[in-house]
Every structure is written in C-alpha cells, then in structure tokens.
Amino acid sequence: MSGRADRQGQQAARWDPRKYLEFASERTRPFVDLLARVPDDAVHTVVDLGCGPGNDVPPLRHRFPDALIRGVDSSPEMIERAWATTEAPGVTFEVGDLLDWQGSADVVVSNATLQWVPGHRAVLPRLAEAATRAFAFQVPGNFNAPSHVLLREIGADFGITAVRPLEVGTAAEYVETLGRPGWHVDGWETTYLHVLRGPDPVFDWVSGTGARPVLAALSDADRPAFVERYKAALREAYPECEIGGRPATLLPFRRIFAVAVRG
Ligand SMILES: C[S@@+](CC[C@H](N)C(=O)[O-])C[C@H]1O[C@@H](n2cnc3c(N)ncnc32)[C@H](O)[C@@H]1O
C-alpha cells in the first residue's frame, strides 16, 4: 500500500473532537513539556502541524504570547472544532495535510500527530528546514503496550488485519535524523502515569485515538461484540485500584520527544 493510500485509509476513520477532548488535560500535558524546551525569544510565527481541535492553543499562546499561530490539520472536524472554541486573536486554522504543507515559520511544532504519517522520519528534515528558529515534535511510543497489542489481537479475531500498526522511531533515531550541521538537537522519552476514573476508562481513551481505525473497519454487526471483548481484556490488563480513596485505573503512557534548534 502506498504511503498516501495508507494515510487515507487511516484517516477514513474520522476524528471525533468531543471524544478526543474527554482527556484533554492528559493529552495536552506532553505538549506543555515539549514547548518548555523550545526557545521563546524572537518567535513571531508558529505553525502547529496536526493541531487537532484547539487544545494546543492555550499552551502555545502561553509560551509565545505575541506570536501569530497557525494550526494545520487534515481533519475538517478537528478544524471546525478549533475555530468554534478558539477566540484568541492572532490564531488561525486551516484544513491541510502536513505532507503537502509548504510554508515556513519561526517555530514549527507537531504534537501527537506524526505517528499517523507513514514514513514520517523521512519528512522530518524538510519540516525542520521550514523553521527559522526551531522544530519540535512529540509522538506516542505505546504501540506495544497492552492497549494496542490487545487491539490488534482481538481485531484480527474479527477479521481486521489490514489496519497498519502505527510506527514511531526511538528518541535516538530522531536525534540522528535531525542532528545535522547547524542544528542543536535534544531528544528524550517519558512514561506518564495517567490516573483515570470511571468505568472502562482505557477503552474510552483509546477509542478517541489509536482504536479509531479498527472500530471504523468493523461491521456494525461485529462492533458490539468486539467492544465487549476488548473492554474486558483492557480491564484485566489495567486493573482497577484505589487512589485517593476512590476507584481509579492507572494508564502508563510512553511518549517520545525531539527538539531541533538552529545555531
Ligand atoms: C492525536 S491528534 C493530536 C491533536 C493535537 N495536536 C494534540 O496534541 O492534542 C492527531 C491529529 O493529527 C491530525 N493528522 C493526522 N495525520 C495528519 C496529516 N497527515 N496532516 C495533518 N494532520 C494530520 C489528525 O486529524 C488529528 O487531529
């Protein structure tokens, strides 16, 4: 399958901004940690590739109070939501594929998006070149976590084998790719421990992101049985515990970061 066709296949599963934002705080935190490593002086323009439904704007505005911020995302649903929920001056959004994006900015960022772009490592130097100051991104590194292994295994039992597992590199690979003459590069990884509440919270989390392609590929007849089995397997893999005197589920979540700064 070609990169573009594969990309379209993954995107055929539409994003649901409301579902995605159920965990907005947890999903946005790595972006705050990423931006903390990006220089904030002399930054007048910022482009956010895969900007999502607008949750990236507050941390961007906080880090770059005076910059023009432009969000680009291939999902019309996400862009519609971003426009609807953002009133900040100097912020604009557009529907577009980051592979087709040809602009430039002082800072180019991408949070939790490049994992959806097959072969994204090859695109990194071009995205960095588009930045006059810094290029920074974060990708999840949890595709071998029980949540995703179970998704693939149970999906296969329901005949869903064509959904490509998302691929990311290691921090070292990203540092090697971006570490060219004239650039200072920083790479690291972190495992966040999210404290989730309520019934089946891990299912709720993954059904807003990584499980979307499998859920969309299932027939309407098969989906309820799949969901029931997947939820039961997730409850076993991520058992309920008690935190702060209340039931909770701990979700360890590995994420990989890279920042390339000119000069
Ligand atoms: C997990 S969300 C991340 C949203 C936001 N950046 C955040 O940190 O919460 C991934 C986003 O990437 C977008 N996306 C995926 N592939 C893309 C591509 N090739 N070009 C532009 N956006 C893309 C999706 O539409 C989605 O909004």
Phi then psi for 228, rounded to 5 degrees? -60, -45
For the chain, give the percent of residues with pLDDT over 90: 83
pLDDT on residue 4: 41
User: Residue of the nearest CA to atom 8 in ligand 1?
Assistant: 111
pTM of the model: 0.91
Instruction: Choose among 32, 105, 97, 41: nearest CA to 70.
Output: 105
The CA-to-CA distance between both ends of the chain, in Å, stands at 39
What pLDDT digit, counting tens, does each position of 155-165 carry?
999 999 877 77
Query: What distance in angstroms lies between residue 247's CA and the mean position of ligand 1's atoms?
Result: 32
Q: Could you tell me what percent of the chain has a pLDDT over 70?
A: 95
The amino acid at 113: T
Find the 49 Cα to ligand 1 centroid distance in Å: 7
In the chain, where are the structural domains located?
Answer: 4-262
Q: What is the CA(139)–ligand 1 centre distance, in A?
A: 11
Checking phi first, is residue 42 left (phi over 0); if not, alpha (psi -120 to 50) or beta? left
Please give the pLDDT value at position 171. Answer: 97
Q: Which atom number of ligand 1 is nearest to the Cα of residue 48?
A: 6
According to the model, what pLDDT value does residue 16 have? 85
Average pLDDT over residues 175-183: 97
* CA 215 to chain CA mean position, Å: 18
- Top CATH class of 4-262 equals alpha beta
CA distance 33 to 112: 13
